[in-house]
Structure 1
């Protein structure tokens, strides 16, 4: 094998492993959240959710490989790199914590919960189909700080902090894996023999996990089952009966669908700048259709084009790495190999990958937003903080069999406030970030429109729902005055802004004087 072929082989192999393990990691965390946080039956996850979700990856990467081949024939180039496609990490984690888990706790019906997940994915797919034709318009309407800030909050807290807990749960395994992954992916260091860092972290971390587990140093260690079951995902329409139950989750489904479309636009532009000019609509419609396909086969997580096409191109990857990923995930899920990986690879090994992904999402939000909008990006994190606290608090209360009503009055108020702040956190973060970005740009009317929108959505529970599960409602159906009080607060906020604008325009001299005083102090 000559040097050129060897480089191409390692390039395709490294790209395949990176994309494949990214998707395996998402499935591992989806499974871990549902099983360990909500006590959801693992059997349904391994035999139904994972094979159905894998169908979206299979068809998506297969179609992206075909698009790359078409572009290669059109341009006469052999170095065309396919767009990478996989499961969208923020929305998968969000759906696990905000849709599947709460539905199972409320109903204790695993089959119903699975169908609700399928129906929610179906709604996301419809949103993506519609917005694939208007994604650029949405991108022009909302500031980047609002669009990316709320997802960056998910990246920092749900993909950063929660995986950090998993790392410290198995600190020896987690630290070894984190050291390798951070050194290779962020530090840009190379291992001897050009061994991919992610692969080395998975193999070494998993070996340490089993060595320590069999030695009795891991309290929750379970002997793995190496049996593989044939899990053929079947096309079904039964989940459509649960669509009415999914209406409360529209505040999650809509922004998650829109944001992956906008991400697809950005990623397609990134690929064009790297030398591969794909048609944006082809890329967007593929991710929308494959998300819908996954829902009909039992999937609960949407597909999206991944950030990093230029990185895969630098590796020397072509259309083969996405083809191999499609086959490995698709065939692997049918024969039970994907479920075996999910059961074998410990969470502490995969957690550092999500830590890295979370950092990249946060970095992108600040990088793509104007420097002046950094405060707006930070503000949009805060509703996600509330959601993180409620996730952890819910685990303690459930484990202790304590209802919120049994808490002292002061803690009841605190719990209620955290719940209200948490519900609809993605939309809240988007609107808060957009509002502050407009204020920074002195577009006061648009800022006021954002706060008025918050007031209207609050009345119906799309954000700040007073129900623990975040359900939406009609204002007159709620006995609590809290939605009206929150909406009134937003309304008064929106009224203050134009008044401040008029005052500034009517009295410019004092502001000029203050400004000149500030300049003199600075110069002094």
Structure 2
């Protein structure tokens, strides 16, 4: 009997590579720009320490998931298995820059420490935060399957759908229509290739990128700039990862000082990975939770030890890459290419020649597929629960847009900080922005919980709905959901005993309502059973 074994590289892996590489490339550009522009890190630190650590974590993770896909394909005798996508966690990237490293640097400067030394302390703090996230996800490997069994599929997939709809699809859709001459044609190629199944002779993803580059340079969106080109060439060199255990030990106090940031970020990564594993299974590829979560944790720990401040995780988007036809090789290619970019300092040079607009149609399509899967892979009568699960992510995205708008209007500075006085001004236009900010905090948790509650209501399993509501009350009480603090230019999660007391009380009252509905349902069931028993007695003939 002939056995079927997966191939390491197929034609559609090229398309998958462009999509995943663009995702990773954007994160790497964010790291370079935020570390240089916001944190003021010197180029030697960014290119000599941080990016080599990023490279090693991406190589380790992508190679592991490629190998795991190959082994799963061999065991199941399948050629169509798709490796789990892997890369830098975007949420943690922003959180650790703005909520850990920047405060550490500003605090050090305020205490009279020179900027160069303050930058060193901020980088060390980022390493500790990254290590903490890795430890949490590694520790969560042993409860991953339990969480997957507890949560209905609609609760897991709708959360991803909300993120895909807002933070992935809509952003790139806006960018497409901001530059329609450049953006629409690549989008058309992607839609024709993957929805219309039109063949162009070369992979559709490659064609879309090439057309995007040509249109960007041909229409003037990209143009030659000698100064920018010189800056892009300057960092090119050979950079090897180092080992920074001493720096981690020196900054160990950060772990306790910033636990209110590190703990929720680690938990978000853990829950997000579990949701992505469920998404992959719904698309037809089942992976064991424990080794995958452990691999995420190990990849992040490796990143921290080797100089990167940014956790890595399983990426959203597996069903999109699977539908695209990518299998195993796209992950290998991503690890190799992203690793080489980071180790050679050529990130800025590639960014100079290849605009984001050239490849964003692929990522937009991935977002569309993920949202569609939220509905297609769940029972049709659970569709309302999927819709409910989309809403917190939409609220989180709306909060981001609102705060960006305020910053663009000149607020969010020490002279004009964000305060609660903004709330009544929003309410003048019937916009309850405080509710938006509340939903933003811990929206991965609240999306999953609200969707699960809706599923159990639909199934008339009201006690289970009550238990999920009590779980929401606990998370709110300790501040992992809804509770927030105002900062100069943001609203951030507020951890602490009783931090989200008002929301906790609301969820407890909701649980009481569900327990009442369960009691009423049980009584109605008993009454119906009694009536059936009585009818049976009436029809029984006398001896």
* TM class, shorter-length: 0.7 to 0.9
Residue 56 of structure 2 is matched in structure 1 by 55
Q: Is the 1:64–1:83 contact (alpha carbons within 8 Å) kept by the matching residues of 2? A: no
TM-score (norm 2): 0.75
Q: Partners in 2 of 1:428 and 1:493 — Cα distance?
A: 14
Residue 272 of structure 2 is matched in structure 1 by 259
The answer as to 2:484 corresponding to 1:466 is yes
Q: Partners in 1 of 2:170 and 2:36 — Cα distance?
A: 19
Q: Partners in 2 of 1:467 and 1:252 — Cα distance?
A: 16
Q: Partners in 2 of 1:261 and 1:186 — Cα distance?
A: 28
Residue 177 of structure 2 is matched in structure 1 by 168
1:385-438 per-residue CA deviation (whole Å, 9 max, x = no partner) reads: 221112112112223332333647343793433222211111111111111111
The answer as to 2:250 corresponding to 1:243 is no
Equivalent in 371, 391, 406 of residue 400 of structure 2: 391
Residue 420 of structure 1 is matched in structure 2 by 438
Q: Partners in 2 of 1:484 and 1:76 — Cα distance?
A: 49
Equivalent in 456, 460, 465 of residue 442 of structure 1: 460
Indicate the SS of the match to 1:404: coil
Per-residue deviation, 1:268: 7.2
Relative distance call for 1:417 and 1:312 in structure 2 (3 A) is closer
Deviates more, 1:177-186 or 1:370-379: 177-186
Per-residue deviation, 1:356: 1.4
1:334-383 per-residue CA deviation (whole Å, 9 max, x = no partner) reads: 01234433444322233322211212221222223222221111112222
Residue 234 of structure 1 is matched in structure 2 by 242
Deviates more, 1:347-356 or 1:234-243: 234-243
Relative distance call for 1:97 and 1:155 in structure 2 (3 A) is farther
Q: Partners in 2 of 1:372 and 1:37 — Cα distance?
A: 47
Relative distance call for 1:345 and 1:244 in structure 2 (3 A) is farther
Q: Is the 2:485–2:493 contact (alpha carbons within 8 Å) kept by the matching residues of 1? A: yes
Per-residue deviation, 1:333: 1.9
Residue 377 of structure 2 is matched in structure 1 by 368
Residue 411 of structure 1 is matched in structure 2 by 426
Q: Partners in 2 of 1:408 and 1:362 — Cα distance?
A: 32
Q: Partners in 2 of 1:486 and 1:279 — Cα distance?
A: 35
Q: Partners in 2 of 1:408 and 1:135 — Cα distance?
A: 39
Per-residue deviation, 1:465: 1.3
Per-residue deviation, 1:126: 2.7
Indicate the SS of the match to 2:314: strand
Relative distance call for 1:356 and 1:41 in structure 2 (3 A) is farther
Gapped regions of structure 2 (runs ≥ 5): 1-6, 107-118, 412-416, 529-543
1:267-308 per-residue CA deviation (whole Å, 9 max, x = no partner) reads: 4797778xxxx8775555444422332233305142327725
Per-residue deviation, 1:495: 0.9
The answer as to 2:181 corresponding to 1:210 is no
Q: Is the 1:146–1:430 contact (alpha carbons within 8 Å) kept by the matching residues of 2? A: yes
Q: How many residues were matched structurally?
A: 484
Q: Is the 1:174–1:349 contact (alpha carbons within 8 Å) kept by the matching residues of 2? A: yes
RMSD (Å), alpha carbons: 4.2
The answer as to 2:142 corresponding to 1:141 is no
Q: Is the 2:156–2:448 contact (alpha carbons within 8 Å) kept by the matching residues of 1? A: yes
Q: Is the 1:383–1:429 contact (alpha carbons within 8 Å) kept by the matching residues of 2? A: yes
Relative distance call for 1:299 and 1:160 in structure 2 (3 A) is same
1:414-467 per-residue CA deviation (whole Å, 9 max, x = no partner) reads: 343322221111111111111111111122112111112222222221111131
Per-residue deviation, 1:50: 4.3
Deviates more, 1:29-38 or 1:19-28: 29-38
1:219-266 per-residue CA deviation (whole Å, 9 max, x = no partner) reads: x99954541523433232435633235422333421422332453476
Equivalent in 13, 16, 20 of residue 15 of structure 1: 13
Residue 197 of structure 1 is matched in structure 2 by 204
Residue 452 of structure 1 is matched in structure 2 by 470
Q: Partners in 2 of 1:174 and 1:245 — Cα distance?
A: 45
Equivalent in 509, 513, 537 of residue 496 of structure 1: 513
Per-residue deviation, 1:66: 5.0
The answer as to 2:92 corresponding to 1:95 is yes
Relative distance call for 1:340 and 1:139 in structure 2 (3 A) is same
Q: Partners in 1 of 2:75 and 2:527 — Cα distance?
A: 63
Per-residue deviation, 1:26: 3.1
